[in-house]
Amino acid sequence: MTRFRFCLPLILLGSAVALAAEPKLEISAASLLARTRILSSDAFEGRAPGSAGEEKTVTYLAAEFEKLGLLPGNPDGTYFQNVPLVGITSRPTLSFAVGGRTLALTHVNDFAGFSSRLAPVVEGRASDVVFVGYGVVAPEFNWDDFKDVDVRGKTVVMLINDPPVPDAATGQLDPNVFGGKAMTYYGRWTYKYEIAAQKGAAACLIVHETIPAAYPFGVVVNSWTRENFEIQAADGNAGHVALSAWLTLGATQRLFRAGGHDFEKLKRLAATRDFRPVALGAKADFTVANTLRPVASRNVAALLPGSDPHLKNEYVLYNAHWDHLGVDEKLKGDRIFNGAADNAAGVAVLLEIAQAMRALPPAQQPKRSVLFLSVTAEEKGLLGARYYARHPLYPLARTVGLVNMDGANPFGRTRDLEIIGFGASGIDDVGAAVAQAQGRIVRPDSHPERGSFFRSDHFEFAKVGVPSYYPKSGRDFIGQPADFAERKVNEYIANDYHKPSDEVKPDWTFEGAAQDTEFLLRVGLRLATDPKWPEWNPGNPFKARRDAMLR
């Protein structure tokens, strides 16, 4: 096999010849909208893993792939990859003995908590409570929020996102420390729970604030106070913290105040390298009662075999998660989390790409094989993607790259696209050339502080070394005011994200989604045809894993 990092000038110089031979593609906005409407209908019951909605969803996807003439993606002859999960419904209690009194928190109103340990009951008694700032240990930035403090068996309280380190010259965020404005993995909630477990903490409580978290507390409640999932583990996840939770800002301030501490002052101090953990003078009592059930969930996979006898054993992956949040019987009125934008729309794009690629004439079929993958349990921690990355149906060392679709542009056409994690690999150069052929440009993520790179399935593939590409809708809408995209995104986050109201809207045309689908299809065709492989760019944290894999 031949590998290299795509060079944008070389691609652009040859693009006129390549584009002249590129096939005409049949992409339908009406088809995209229709499939989104089907998958997000009440009949699919919110597409929760382990529910009747899962059975309807995966059956529908397998039937669609078969109807399109794609082969079963699993070498066992089926369209399914079994993903063994455990459903966990947690009922937590949390209180603090502080300042000579008991501060009892109310679940949902003051905190949202769960346990990922696969045990009926977990608890902690009189656990010392320690504020550990942002909870970051980052040697490359000379940063250690724990210093030499032993937090084994203790309850740690952490701030969300990265430490906001200012540049001494400009006063703005230092771009050389924690990515400046962009969130790094150190700022992601998953990292917080992981580092707390590594340090031996009994519980980890993350302070929720809407701007640094990038979503309101209601999203946390909708996501984490219902049934959660973990991949089945022989040790029952004994190494995880017993209680993982988010605290509201108000509950956090009451806790700090009761122990005689100024939360805002300590928060400012936590943004410095000199910060040391602060004992809050409180002891935590918590209990988590778990209802456990085995869940035989499934990823859905379909294969378009490569046309070249030498390259057909190399693979390009397209991925879009099929799952959403299901039904919440506790709600009044609409109880179904339809997940139209998140991610029925992305799955519709996946199916549309599969249909258009399969319909190409034989001479224009991709030389490499293309796997269309729709994974489970993204909403519960990227679990379906993680399972595939650990148990691939086809060797990762023969996987050229992955294109991820999480959402779609339901509105009009744009002059641009945004790339989450722009500049990570040579796939960005391929995308830039395809966008130029469309008369468009690619841009970096306009809100890198939201940490989107760590919030979708491509991240699990990146972690094991596979070059992964995650384009999102553009921001420069044709015929719309400059703030149109920002308004629409903010409205969605505030009103619909992880809520029953994420349904197909009257103003959705999917004209922009059709434009983006063509872009994604052409990127995949180039990856599946070019004799040279894309690589992670020098300095990328995933490059070493890929280089070792290919050696």
Tens digits of residue pLDDT in 165-181: 988 888 888 888 998 88
Domain hosting residue 11, numbered range: 2-69+305-550
Q: How confident is the model at residue 360 (pLDDT cuts 50, 70, 90)?
A: very high
Residues 418 and 538 in one domain: yes
Is 6's pLDDT higher than 90?
Answer: no
Q: Which residues, in sequence order, are CB contacts of 507 under 8 Å at separation 6+?
A: 410, 411
Residue with tokens 């258009």: 356
Per DSSP, 116 falls in state -
Is 102's pLDDT higher than 70?
Answer: yes
Is 8's pLDDT higher than 50?
Answer: no
Residue with tokens 């991240």: 459
Residues 282 and 322 in one domain: no
Helix 29-39 to helix 52-67 angle (10° resolution) is 150
Closest residue by Cα to residue 248 from 280, 214, 208, 219: 208
Q: Which residue has the higher pLDDT, 222 or 483?
A: 483
Q: Is residue 298 part of a domain?
A: no
Q: Is residue 75 part of a domain?
A: no
282-311 pLDDT tens trace: 999 999 999 999 999 999 999 999 999 999
- pLDDT for res 93: 98
Is 20's pLDDT higher than 50?
Answer: no
Q: Is residue 156 part of a domain?
A: yes
CA 324, CA 305: separation in Å to the nearest integer?
30
Residues 275 and 319 in one domain: no
- Whichever domain contains 319, its CATH number is 3.40.630.10
Domain boundary pick from 268, 292, 316: 292
Residues 39 and 114 in one domain: no
Residues 463 and 530 in one domain: yes
Residues 442 and 528 in one domain: yes
224-236 pLDDT tens trace: 888 999 999 999 9
179-198 pLDDT tens trace: 888 889 999 999 999 999 99
Q: Can you give the pTM of this predicted structure?
A: 0.88
Q: How far is CA 324 from the centre of its chain?
A: 13
Q: Which helix (H) or strand (E) holds 72?
A: strand 71-72
- Whichever domain contains 190, its CATH number is 3.50.30.30
**Inter-residue contact 470 to 453 (CB < 8 Å):** yes
- pLDDT for res 176: 86
Number of domains in the chain: 2
118-143 pLDDT tens trace: 999 999 999 999 999 999 999 999 99
Q: Is residue 81 part of a domain?
A: no
Longest dimension (CA), the chain: 79
Six-digit token string for 384: 């379906």
Percent of the chain with pLDDT over 70: 96
Residues 146 and 223 in one domain: yes
Q: Which residues, in sequence order, are CB contacts of 70 under 8 Å at separation 6+?
A: 302, 303, 304, 354, 358, 372
Report the residue count for the chain. 551
3-state DSSP of 471-521: EECCCCECCCCCCHHHHHHHHHHHHCCCCCCCCCCCCCCCHHHHHHHHHHH
**Inter-residue contact 85 to 231 (CB < 8 Å):** yes
Per DSSP, 140 falls in state G
Q: Is residue 351 part of a domain?
A: yes
Percent of the chain with pLDDT over 90: 88
Kindly state the average pLDDT of the residues 375-403.
97
- pLDDT for res 37: 98
Kindly state the average pLDDT of the residues 442-456.
92
Domain boundary pick from 235, 270, 292: 292
Q: Is residue 221 part of a domain?
A: yes
Kindly state the average pLDDT of the residues 492-511.
95
Q: What value, to the nearest 5°, has the Cα angle with vertex 491 and ends 482 and 336?
A: 145
Residues 345 and 443 in one domain: yes
Q: Is residue 515 part of a domain?
A: yes
Residues 261 and 164 in one domain: yes
Residues 99 and 140 in one domain: yes
Is 75's pLDDT higher than 70?
Answer: yes
Is 2's pLDDT higher than 50?
Answer: no
Least confident piece of the model among 255-259, 388-392, 493-497 = 493-497
- pLDDT for res 10: 30
Is 548's pLDDT higher than 50?
Answer: yes
Domain boundary pick from 292, 317, 341: 292
Is 4's pLDDT higher than 80?
Answer: no
Residues 132 and 269 in one domain: yes
Is 9's pLDDT higher than 80?
Answer: no
Mean pLDDT across the chain, nearest whole number? 93
Residues 91 and 63 in one domain: no
Q: Is residue 446 part of a domain?
A: yes
CA 428, CA 422: separation in Å to the nearest integer?
7
